[in-house]
Amino acid sequence: MGKLLRRTFLIGSAAIAGGVAVGFYMYKTPYPNPISADTAKGESVFNPFVKIAADNSVTIIVPRAEMGQGVVTTLSALVAEELDVELADVKTEFAPAADVYYNRAMLEEGAPFHVFDNSFIAEMTRDIQGVVAKFLAMQATGGSSSTIDAFDRMRTSGAAARAMLIATAADKWQVAAASLKTENGKVLDPALGRSIAYGELVTAAAEQEVPETITLKDPVDWRYLGKSQPRLDMAAKVTGKAGFGVDVRLPDMLFATVRMNPRQGAKMTGMDASAAEKVPGVVKVINLGTGYAVVADNTWTAFKAADLVTPQWAEATYPATTDAIFASIDAALKAGGGFNMRDDGDAPDAVAAASGKAIGARYTAPYLAHATMEPMNATAQWTDGKLAVWCGNQAPTSIVTQAGSVFGLSAGDITVHSTYLGGGFGRRFETDFSMLAARVAKEMDGKPVQVTWTREEDMRHDMYRPGAICEAAAVVDEQGVPSVEFRVASQSPIASTFGRLAGAITPPGNDKTIVDGLWDQPYALANYRVTGIEVDMDIPVGFWRSVGHSHNPFFHECFMDEIARSSGQDPLEMRLKLMQPYPAAVGAVQAVKDMSGWGTPLPADGVKSRGRGVAFCLSFGTWVAQVIQVADTDDGIRIEKVWCAADFGTALDPKNLEAQMMSGIIFGLSSAMGQEITFADGAVEQGNFDSYDAMRMNQSPDIQVRVLQTSGKMGGAGEPGTPPSLPALANAIFAATGKRIRQLPLSKEITFA
């Protein structure tokens, strides 16, 4: 414990107060630096994150995927802040797949978390560290962790390079390093009024001894951090120049598509490809065992010819219909057992003892597809037995390990070129699309092949957000404090995901993502039990933006609403009361109370009625409260306004955090309004946006976001906006209409305008 405290304190001090020396642990790791200099450009490499060229251009290596969340900008700002260069002028490159970009070392040495004496928070902190470690040990982007992970490490990289440049100038001028300063890419000698550009120092500076300790800037001196920065990728993204996976173009490249058995993972027992092979432009039809690929001279020809192949598909190894799948989940729930992630007091006894007074509810959530805007795709090429893969991905090192296993290659024979991602949401954590491209390219005699899936193929071969059933029970005492019990059953995203990854060891213990959003919420309740039941089924499930927090908060926060209503309490005031020991939670709820005018009458002009709903969720270290206002109109429910207050602890880029909250909210509301993946004959029934749509401009509400920074430790941004949006909407619909909807999507019971 002492060791943990000391480490946590060291890093924590640096993060809070600044100016405190921290060990530059990064260079103590055995990992080699994968970045090499382009000497023709006069580049020098300072560390795995920083290159500076003789022409003063600075290149920052971004080790995480840019899928919209703004990491290219925020991570670059961390380096630019400490390196003291103009952020707008830096160039960025996505990192290669390399061990040095793993995150485990940092997590073991102490993440930038404060020391909390509150046991609940301490538990949460450890929990978050564990999740982050699991993801980032693989150079993966997920768990809303990129900035938390990079905060010390990338600042330190910039500061180390700056110290090496200063030391070089000090040698050159024969003065003490301490007498020198830096400003916008120059080392200054204030005593003699002289200056020298970084570019003139780089060759010698990169040879300098790496400093043992680094002093980071005091946050009060921050120039970029804590302030909104124009995104570095914005110009490319408004001119069509940003390169996504589908935009990769290589000499002699062929274009292909795949059609896999719509019954997830099952074999293809035969195919007749003769008609497809006759289509002009088709180069080859390849049997992939569980499906086939068509290679052609353009993507459309491949799509068209793929329709002409007649395959024979084997049966599914899981229940073939949605009803049968949910019957299996229900059977698991009824069978009992499971694991308790929270078991305070004696909730079941309290509920049982309250004969007649207890309330109960049963909630369901469907399977969901990610439906990224850019369908799955990857480009691959084999040269002399070595594999190169180009794609947008959330886990480059997983591509290396998977390809190593599938093709018997060593890591050095696999190169991953990461592009921008046309959406990720957890889907591009997987390696299926890159492996299929590699398998197809292997048949094509060294030619590069781009394999693009149709939208239908993408939607029907996802790793879905698992469907879930939750049973909740509660009894409320005279003080209005409930005893609550939640039991939830679903497939395990962790078991399914790690089962697909070569060489990955499924983390021991229960999959807490099954109960995330139920067990980890800051309600001070004496009797509080949460039980998770893992359902064993072969449907591939995975990480869908906010994972367990994508559906469990719907169960938790709708039930809290039911508890409040059943006991005559205002749902928002009840939360303020029950969250009292957790100031960040209270602050967020209080903020949306103020922002939304909670409790003031709502006019019903021109509509049948209006209502407000509130919900809260702590996820990925960020404390988020939302109030949603809906109107019941002749055309259905219209979502009019969303107020969101989010406590990130430390907000590095407020305008980007606002964008992430809006994004998470619209993503969550899209699912609540109508998304559902259903199965028939073992295959997914939805194929395109006509049957699996998302919110559109005409449905998009006004969203107000308040960024708070009181929690004391940095939280994530990509996911925490999503969880409260679904229950806040359902609770608002109840307030407006009196209709309590306990199943997702809500469109099963109402219409949206």
Partner 1 sequence: MDIKINGRTVSIEADPEMPLLWALRDIAGLTGTKFGCGIAMCGACTVLIDGEPVRSCSIALEDVSGDVTTIEALQGDDGALHVVQEAWIEQQVAQCGYCQSGQIMSAVALLANNATPTDADIDEAMSGNLCRCGTYPRIRAAIHTAAKKLAGA
Instruction: Catalog residues that contact partner 1 under the rule CB under 8 A.
Output: 66-70, 230-231, 233-244, 246-247, 249, 255, 280-281, 298-301, 303, 371-375, 420-425, 452, 454-455, 655-656, 659, 662-667, 670, 688-690, 693-698, 700, 702-703
CB nearer partner 1, residue 157 or residue 670 = 670
CB nearer partner 1, residue 664 or residue 715 = 664
- Before 319, cis peptide (omega within 30)? no
CB nearer partner 1, residue 14 or residue 665 = 665
Quote the tokens at residue 172: 């050159």
- Before 348, cis peptide (omega within 30)? no
Nearest approach in angstroms of CB 607 to partner 1 is 16
What residue has token string 């050095």?
A: 412
Nearest approach in angstroms of CB 427 to partner 1 is 11
Nearest approach in angstroms of CB 41 to partner 1 is 23
181-183 and 186-189 strand pairing: antiparallel
Q: E-assigned strands of 523-635?
A: 528-534, 609-619, 622-633
Nearest approach in angstroms of CB 3 to partner 1 is 40
Nearest approach in angstroms of CB 666 to partner 1 is 3
Q: Are 105 and 99 in contact (CB under 8 A)?
A: no
CB nearer partner 1, residue 24 or residue 367 = 367
213/576 Cα distance (integer angstroms): 44
Quote the tokens at residue 360: 């109960």
Q: Are 624 and 721 in contact (CB under 8 A)?
A: yes
* DSSP reduced 3-state for 185: coil
Nearest approach in angstroms of CB 457 to partner 1 is 11
Nearest approach in angstroms of CB 281 to partner 1 is 8
Bridge partners of 390?
379, 417
Nearest approach in angstroms of CB 69 to partner 1 is 7
CB nearer partner 1, residue 216 or residue 547 = 547
CB nearer partner 1, residue 372 or residue 619 = 372
CB nearer partner 1, residue 108 or residue 702 = 702
Quote the tokens at residue 279: 């289509």
Nearest approach in angstroms of CB 561 to partner 1 is 24
Q: Are 345 and 393 in contact (CB under 8 A)?
A: no
660/231 Cα distance (integer angstroms): 13
CB nearer partner 1, residue 14 or residue 283 = 283
Nearest approach in angstroms of CB 280 to partner 1 is 7
CB nearer partner 1, residue 427 or residue 512 = 427
CB nearer partner 1, residue 69 or residue 510 = 69
Q: Are 364 and 465 in contact (CB under 8 A)?
A: no
Nearest approach in angstroms of CB 300 to partner 1 is 4
CB nearer partner 1, residue 220 or residue 697 = 697
Count Cβ atoms below 10 Å from residue 461 Cβ, excluding itself. Answer: 25
CB nearer partner 1, residue 34 or residue 243 = 243
Nearest approach in angstroms of CB 609 to partner 1 is 22
Q: E-assigned strands of 240-397?
A: 254-260, 268-272, 282-287, 291-296, 310-313, 339-344, 359-365, 377-383, 386-391
CB nearer partner 1, residue 249 or residue 608 = 249
Cβ-based neighbours of 577, under 8 Å, separated by 6 or more: 480, 481
691/459 Cα distance (integer angstroms): 10
The closest of 630, 753, 627 to 699, measured between CA atoms, is: 753
Nearest approach in angstroms of CB 249 to partner 1 is 7
CB nearer partner 1, residue 428 or residue 593 = 428
The closest of 178, 246, 248, 183 to 215, measured between CA atoms, is: 178
CB nearer partner 1, residue 299 or residue 546 = 299
- Cβ burial, residue 159 (10 Å; 0-12/13-18/19+): buried
443/396 Cα distance (integer angstroms): 23
What residue has token string 């920074």?
A: 709
Q: Are 258 and 434 in contact (CB under 8 A)?
A: no
Quote the tokens at residue 334: 């009824």
Q: Are 724 and 616 in contact (CB under 8 A)?
A: yes
CB nearer partner 1, residue 239 or residue 355 = 239
- Cβ burial, residue 469 (10 Å; 0-12/13-18/19+): buried
Quote the tokens at residue 402: 């998977």
3-state SS record for 280-309: CCEEEEEECCCEEEEEECCHHHHHHHHHHC
* Angle between helix 725-737 and 654-674 (nearest 10): 60
Q: Phi, psi at residue 448, to the nearest 5°?
A: -70, 140
The closest of 504, 508, 265 to 405, measured between CA atoms, is: 504
Nearest approach in angstroms of CB 245 to partner 1 is 10
Nearest approach in angstroms of CB 721 to partner 1 is 9
The closest of 510, 728, 515, 751 to 636, measured between CA atoms, is: 751
Nearest approach in angstroms of CB 135 to partner 1 is 19
User: Side chain identity at 545, as an amino acid letter?
Assistant: R
CB nearer partner 1, residue 374 or residue 557 = 374
3-state SS record for 458-506: HHHCCCEECCEEEEEEEEECCCCCEEEEEEEEECCHHHHHHHHCCCCCC
Q: Phi, psi at residue 360, to the nearest 5°?
A: -140, 155
Instruction: DSSP letter for 677, please.
Output: B
Nearest approach in angstroms of CB 392 to partner 1 is 9
Nearest approach in angstroms of CB 371 to partner 1 is 6
Quote the tokens at residue 507: 């983390």
352/358 Cα distance (integer angstroms): 8
